[in-house]
Amino acid sequence: MESKAKLLGHPIHPMLIVFPLGLLATAVAFDIVALITKDLPWYRISFWMIASGIIGGLCAALFGIVDWFAIPENTRAKSIGLLHGGLNVLVVLLFAASWWMRRSETEVIPTTAALALSFIAVGIGLVGGWLGGELVDRLGVGVDDGAHLNAPSSLSNRPATESYRVSKIK
């Protein structure tokens, strides 16, 4: 099932999700560094990474919704897509709450609740990310119809069902 929101022939949603995943996971890693080293500026970095990750997550979600609406009703993909999206919205909400709790003093140790919310969110994000992989790798959501190992470039305006001619290297 091909993605409905594309840029230069590729689905936009998977292009965007790497940013919030990386930013939010790294924010948690920086919180851990700050907890271990007692070096408070790491918390400020984490604060801004969370803010950026929330914005990126919301942008990725918009394109995910477009793709979800294109999935046929009464399919496993529709159910998995709903769970995937719901968990990832929960991740963004938990990080938003953690960010909100940290906003007044970015170089002070965040409350236990603020840290716990972000740590829990990363765990939920792993499950949501796995479900996204299930959608693409197992259920073929976002994959061009007829995709194969010798499909032509998405920039060629040729369907994926055609073959790209590969010359043998001698």
Classify residue 156: in a domain, yes or no.
no
Classify residue 165: in a domain, yes or no.
no
Angstrom distance (rounded) from CA 169 to CA 29: 45
Angstrom distance (rounded) from CA 167 to CA 119: 50
CB 123 within 8 A of CB 90: no
Classify residue 49: in a domain, yes or no.
yes
pLDDT attached to residue 142: 83
Q: Which two tokens stand for residue 10?
A: 């590729």
Classify residue 162: in a domain, yes or no.
no
Domain span at residue 133? 6-145
Residue-wise pLDDT for 40-85, tens only, equals: 999 999 999 999 999 999 999 999 999 999 999 999 999 999 999 9
**In total, how many domains does the chain have?**
1
pLDDT attached to residue 68: 94
CA distances from 17 to 39, 61, 76, 108 (A): 30, 8, 22, 30
Angstrom distance (rounded) from CA 94 to CA 108: 20
Classify residue 71: in a domain, yes or no.
yes
Classify residue 1: in a domain, yes or no.
no
Query: At residue 49, what is the residue type?
Result: M
Counting DSSP H helices and E strands in the chain, the numbers are 4, 2
Classify residue 168: in a domain, yes or no.
no
Classify residue 126: in a domain, yes or no.
yes
Q: pTM to 2 decimals?
A: 0.87
Please work out, in degrees rounded to the nearest 5, the angle formed at the alpha carbon of residue 139 by the alpha carbons of 133 and 140. 85
Residue-wise pLDDT for 108-147, tens only, equals: 889 999 999 999 999 999 999 999 999 998 898 888 788 8
CB 72 within 8 A of CB 32: no
CB 85 within 8 A of CB 61: yes
